[in-house]
Amino acid sequence: MSSTESPSDRKKVVSKLPGALRTDLKVRAAELTIDIQDAVAEAITDWAAVDGTLPPVETAGADSFATWLPEKLYDDFKRDCVRLGIPYVQGLSQAVRLWLEAHPSPRRRRPAATGIPQRKIVCNQKGGVGKTTISAGIGQALAEDTDLGGLGLRVLLVDYDPQGHLTKQLGLAQLPHDGDSLAKFMSGQARGDIRDLVVTVEEPRFGKRLDVLPACADAFLLDVMIVQARNRQATLERALEALEPHYDAIIIDCPPSLGMAMDAAIYYGRRRDGEAARVSGAVITVLAEDSSADAYSMLIEQIESGKTDWRVEVDYLGLVVNAYDSRDGYVVTSSLQSWRELSDPPVIGVIPRLKEQREAARARRPLLAYAPHSEQADILRNIAREIS
């Protein structure tokens, strides 16, 4: 961190700040009509009052950031960082994170007047790209308390993948094969009420607003189960109909498939009558590699074919590039550039390959509860705000 004198009795402070925090700070200051330098000054003042008890912020890959601070505040901040034994970038990151939590966004998008919940299908025909990570992260960010940086919505996460990774990662049990399941409701074989299958994620920061419809292994046979169904593309919608009035947003963690189950997910994410554009639709998760581009093309072909056959609109909410690490070399960096050059759909988030998500999955806890101040968590909040 360096400084030079300013005519206004402030010092120019040049440091670094994680990209997600820098973006959040800029957006939040604009929303609240506060000058960024005043927001940072307030952040550092509040941070000093906490006296070093805040959790650390992931600062790997932080970018350059500059602002102006009152001279005494800047000098006190440096001394506090030295006393606490932390780098200036860590102190600044903690301060900005604290300020963002204390100043939530005034934008609180709620369901449309029609009462239709937002419906996001997180998809890619290729497996292993992180659809579950993105599905879970978006859902958590939408449900998280507003004073913690979330949107405070009632959210249902649907584990539509028979492998059940989302269910397992959140520490929940898969549904038994001999009982009711989403697949059985889609095929008309269920005997009970689908609402009885829903489980609440018991983490305080979600305020009982985050629910999960767990997976069941019988979904491996879903294409066979619905092949004779009337309007089989509408089977997922019919199954979830009883749940929709209870939620503001429903997130579908799709299987790596291009079969009839995927058709039903695409149809579910279509723009309904009376619904604004880009409220519901497809979030496509990719990696910065050539094989992801091939899978992406196949998925787009299926979506476009469905739009034509069913005469509907399906909005592309954006691309999320997952597990990115520029140190992997030219193939990775050039692939990211290629994704950005698509522009439609736009890249709405680049998730770095960091340890927190793997640790959260091992701990069977939501990422935003396990590592709420991590860079991955901040980026997922940005994505949720972008598409809500």
Domains and CATH numbers, the chain: 10-102 (1.10.1220), 118-387 (3.40.50.300)
Report the DSSP pairing between strands 63-70 and 10-17: antiparallel
Residue 210 contacts residue 143 (beta carbons within 8 Å) = yes
Distance of CA 112 to the CA centre of its chain: 21
With 0.95 as the threshold, say if the pTM is over it.
no
- How would you classify the pairing of strands 155-159 and 63-70? unpaired
Query: What φ, ψ does residue 40 adopt, rounded to 5°?
Result: -65, -40
pLDDT tens, position by position, 88-138: 999 999 999 889 888 877 754 444 445 789 999 999 988 889 999 999 999
The pLDDT of residue 148 is above 70:
yes
Give the separation between CA 23 and CA 18, rounded to whole angstroms. 9
- pLDDT greater at residue 62 or residue 121: 121
Q: Supply φ then ψ for residue 80, to 5 degrees.
A: -65, -40
C-beta of residue 221 within 8 angstroms of C-beta of residue 189: no
| pLDDT per position as a tens digit, 183-218 | 999 999 999 999 999 999 999 999 999 999 999 999
Q: How confident is the model at residue 61 (pLDDT cuts 50, 70, 90)?
A: confident
Q: What is the pLDDT of residue 107?
A: 59
Average pLDDT, the chain: 91
Are residues 40 and 93 in contact, defined by beta-carbon separation less than 8 angstroms? Answer: no
Please work out, in degrees rounded to the nearest 5, the angle formed at the alpha carbon of residue 59 by the alpha carbons of 55 and 62. 150
pLDDT at 1: 52
146 vs 16, 118, 291, CA distance in Å?
26, 18, 38
149 pLDDT above the threshold of 70: yes
Predicted confidence at residue 112, as pLDDT, reads 46
For 173, 335, 357, the CA distances from 176, given in Å and listed in that order, are 9, 41, 27
**Cα separation of 350 and 46, whole Å?**
30
Q: Does the pLDDT at position 250 exceed 90?
A: yes
Closest CA to 324 of 254, 251, 375, 368: 375
